[in-house]
Structure 1
């Protein structure tokens, strides 16, 4: 098994022949069933798995997602969970789901489910996106975790990001060599301001803390936003961000 692969599993629809749970035979037959050499054999979905769930709960998330979105269509899903090191020193758990384009039919496969009204359509992506959010929240709640997930885009959440200035190759080269430039400084300030706005609006890009969470998490959120804002605007300009000169601002604005 490859490095960082924690679990691998094949899930087939109910009534599928037993050979479909054999990885080598499954994909050999999928390939053999196509006439064109350049035919698309499968599609892949990447799921980012939350760190607040343990290994078994992460497996449950993937299985339930497949059970809501793929096997009801008659599709066979082959998934693997990886957990390499992340840049922050923690783990980066995620799942790769490879699934057939043709549904199970008898002892083989039927017609491909591709096209605008099937797997290539916006509706499938929209439904799968909403399904994943529901699965995450359901499993997280079952795990007695206070963390809830909001997978809407920043725009949908009402978080406006400031456009980042473009820099040319000369500035990029200087910055990479360790020389600070005025253009580079402007880019960093915009990045910090965007981080500050995001941190203040929600605990993270995908996590939403429920009302029952510890107030300490609110304090952590505010500390993060405060530090980013300080880096962007300086120590004496918090009024524009918080609405007053003190950090004793009203916490009720945090979406719950």
Structure 2
């Protein structure tokens, strides 16, 4: 499940922080802090994926992480200097690594780098369930030589005011906060990845949710929980999850109860405008669908399901008929091969008889007869070879290797075909019966609606005969409108004038 987390902080000397040390920790690289003359390195089990994005006006050396943050340290002279801004952002686990990288890159490029900031990005994937990115941002204007004055205009982008859920100062009414912008970027990426998950920067309270939000664990509590040790923040989340489950169960019960009450009112109104036989049709369809009350939508949905079931039968039947023909073909081929074997044997025997004949006066005649039989044998063997070749083409699709195995498969298939087609025939009969019941109920519900609408128009004497269901629905809209706004003569005149 995609989660929303975006926190912002200032890396400052007043907190005892170093921009070089912060960059080394986030990137997993060895960096040398020239101001402190110290090597900064923090080993990680999984090496972060990093990138540095620079504005088009920035010098090339700013893509060197070590020099970049040492230059920041040099240009900041005060002991309480603000060195860099940092964003910590949770990445949607529904996206693959390349999609996560492209998402955070485009967000940083469009929201920060194009405004003139350098963005040093590190993606951490130590925990597969908690991929996140750190974005360190410079705070000064850039020129071809390096850093200039601090850009105070950027401060409004990162103001963390909660008023109206904007991260900007009060006069930036038309601007989206960084927090809201991240939700927009992430949701667009999720949509492109064809994921149904979405995130929002809004609090549960502002979204009208009764459940309590869980809190961000942080790396210390996260590591403790991962090792099986309970943390204070983890315990808060467990208690909130337990509370939220109870709320969800209560909300589910409330929705089910409201739906039931609504359905019972619908049934009461439906039956008040139905004849006895129509009530029977409606109740029969409701029983068929295992529901107490049914609507026209329920019937149409079931009719669509039945249509799909019926459509699935046709290809199954075609498949059995095709296979049946294939088995018949092979069976005929085997039978023809046996016939050819008999003919070949008969001609072989005649050739043997001619060879045994010792009458010298019939030598020429015998030789001619012998040649005819040998030619016949040759033709028969050629035909036999052709049939055997045809049989060979069916061995793989019909899954047999010998004649004996073929007839076993044929028997097995015939039984399977008989059972399945018998089942399909039964299912089709049931579909026909159910379709008839649903059509009767559909007509009964439509007639009830026509009578209900007609009841508002006593002068419509022929409503039951000539008023169609579609026109009844149109009239119903006018009835509902009339209940909200009385239709006086002045209202009608005004409507006509507007149309003119």
| TM bucket, shorter chain | 0.5 to 0.7
User: Which residue is 1:130 aligned to?
Assistant: 180
Report what 2:105 is aligned to: 63
Q: CA deviation at 1:3?
A: 2.8
Does 2:288 match 1:243? no
Contact 2:158/2:178 (8 A) holds in 1: no
CA distance in 2, matches of 1:56, 1:238: 38
Query: SS of 1:111's equivalent?
Result: strand
Take 1:30 and 1:162, find their aligned partners in 2: how far apart are those partners?
41
- Call closer, same or farther: CA 1:119–1:141 in 2, change over 3 Å: closer
For residues 116 and 93 of structure 1, do their structure 2 counterparts lie closer, same or farther at Cα, with a shift above 3 Å needed?
Answer: closer
- Is residue 104 from structure 1 mapped to residue 142 from structure 2 by the alignment? yes
When the two chains are superposed, the root-mean-square deviation of aligned CA atoms in Å is 3.3
**Contact 1:80/1:95, CA 8 A, preserved across alignment:** yes
Alignment of 1:118-197 (within 5 A): 118-121=156-159, 122-123=167-168, 126-161=176-211, 188=239, 192-197=242-247
Residues 62 and 196 of structure 1, relative CA distance in 2, 3 Å threshold = farther
Once the two structures are overlaid, the 10-residue window that deviates more, 144-153 or 56-65, is: 144-153
For 2:107 and 2:100, how far apart are their aligned partners in 1? Answer: 11
Q: Distance in 2 between matches of 1:130 and 1:136?
A: 10
Deviation string, structure 1 residues 67-88 (Cα, Å, up to 9, x no partner): 2211122000101001223xxx
Q: Which has the higher contact order (CA 8 A, sep 6+)?
A: 1
Contact persistence 1:239–1:245 (CA under 8 A): no
Q: CA deviation at 1:95?
A: 0.2
SS in 2 for 1:148: coil
Query: What is the 5 A alignment of 1:204-215?
Result: none
Q: For the Cα contact (< 8 Å) 1:140–1:146, is it kept in 2?
A: yes
Aligned to 2:57: 15
SS of match in other structure, 2:190: helix
Residues of 2 paired with 1:238 and 1:120: CA distance? 39
**Max Rg structure:** 2
**Structure 1 residue 31: Cα displacement:** 0.7
TM-score normalised according to structure 2 size: 0.33
How has the CA–CA distance of structure 1 residues 195 and 64 changed in structure 2, closer, same or farther, with 3 Å as cutoff? farther
- The residue that corresponds to 1:6 in the other structure is 48
Q: Distance in 2 between matches of 1:102 and 1:150?
A: 31
Measured after TM superposition, the shift of residue 43 of structure 1 is: 0.9
- Structure 1 residue 34: Cα displacement: 1.1
Correspondence list, 1:47-86, <5 A: 47-85=89-127
**1-side partners of 2:252 and 2:73: how far apart?**
60
Tell me the distance in 2 between the aligned counterparts of 1:94 and 1:4.
Answer: 13
Report the 3-state secondary structure (helix = DSSP H, G, I; strand = E; otherwise coil) of the residue aligned with 2:48. Answer: strand
Which consecutive unaligned segments of at least 5 residues does structure 2 have? 1-27, 29-43, 160-166, 170-174, 214-234, 261-290, 292-500
Q: How many residues matched?
A: 184
Give the structure 2 partner of residue 91 of structure 1. 129
Does the Cα contact within 8 Å between 1:78 and 1:99 map onto a contact in 2?
yes
- For residues 103 and 242 of structure 1, the distance between their equivalents in structure 2, rounded to whole angstroms, comes to 59
Distance 1:116 1:80, change over 3 A: closer
Q: CA deviation at 1:144?
A: 2.6
Could you tell me which of 131, 148, 151 is aligned with 1:113?
151
Relative to the length of structure 1, the TM-score reads: 0.61
- Inter-partner Cα distance in structure 2 for 1:161 and 1:32: 49
> 1:143 Cα deviation (Å)?
2.0
In the other structure, the counterpart of 1:27 is 69
Which structure is higher in strand share? 1
